[in-house]
A and B are shown apart, each in its own frame.
Chain A
Amino acid sequence: DTGVSQDPRHKITKRGQNVTFRCDPISEHNRLYWYRQTLGQGPEFLTYFQNEAQLEKSRLLSDRFSAERPKGSFSTLEIQRTEQGDSAMYLCASSPSRDSWVGFFGQGTRLTVV
């Protein structure tokens, strides 16, 4: 078990471009979460999946953001028409669904929009 894996670790993109991040959770973890973290702040919840079903989306997740988990395993987070305000660390976490919340976070993808 290698933990939660995120790819890429760093991404620099020009404003207006689309970017996609990938998260591979711990195997057999049914729940997968996406968070966003800006400098000096705690992580903010974006969305989460139970298997392939997207159960909740934060109002932070504008229509430029979309997340998928097509086969209930890995997940992707896409940002369309990136803006400078999208610059942040994007964190993925997974957990086994039955237990009281013990979350395992990846190391994140740092996005810089220039």
Chain B
Amino acid sequence: DAKTTQPNSMESNEEEPVHLPCNHSTISGTDYIHWYRQLPSQGPEYVIHGLTSNVNNRMASLAIAEDRKSSTLILHRATLRDAAVYYCILGAGNEKLTFGTGTRLTIIP
């Protein structure tokens, strides 16, 4: 499986934008980029996914580098409820997900 690299932890102030980076230099042409987050004591929750173009939904935006070797999850205005572990995962379509250890995001009030 292609591997992703994320910072172990990040902090951000409440009501400010958050940019969560992910490097995936060995991504294959068919790999989608998926982001999930896991709030304390919860199962993972789907956030967003994309293949080549930038994507927006009600939760976040996904910016994908032109060479697809990196991506950034953007939370436009962080709230305390966004404190979670964020996982960047590569996968080809509908198959199992291979989670890493993710980025623990702390929101400072």
Contacts and interface: CB of A to CB of B under 8 A. Distances in A.
A103 B97 contact: yes
State the majority secondary structure of interface residues on A: loop
A98 B43 CA distance: 23
Given A41-B101, A42-B99, A42-B102, A93 B43 contact: yes
Contacts, number: 57
A110 to B, nearest CB: 9
Interface residues of A, number: 27
Nearest to A95: B94
State the majority secondary structure of interface residues on B: loop
13 contacts: A4-B43, A35-B99, A42-B99, A42-B100, A43-B99, A44-B99, A93-B44, A97-B94, A104-B46, A105-B45, A107-B42, A107-B43, A108-B43
Interface of B: 32, 34, 36, 41-46, 49, 51, 85, 87, 91, 93-102
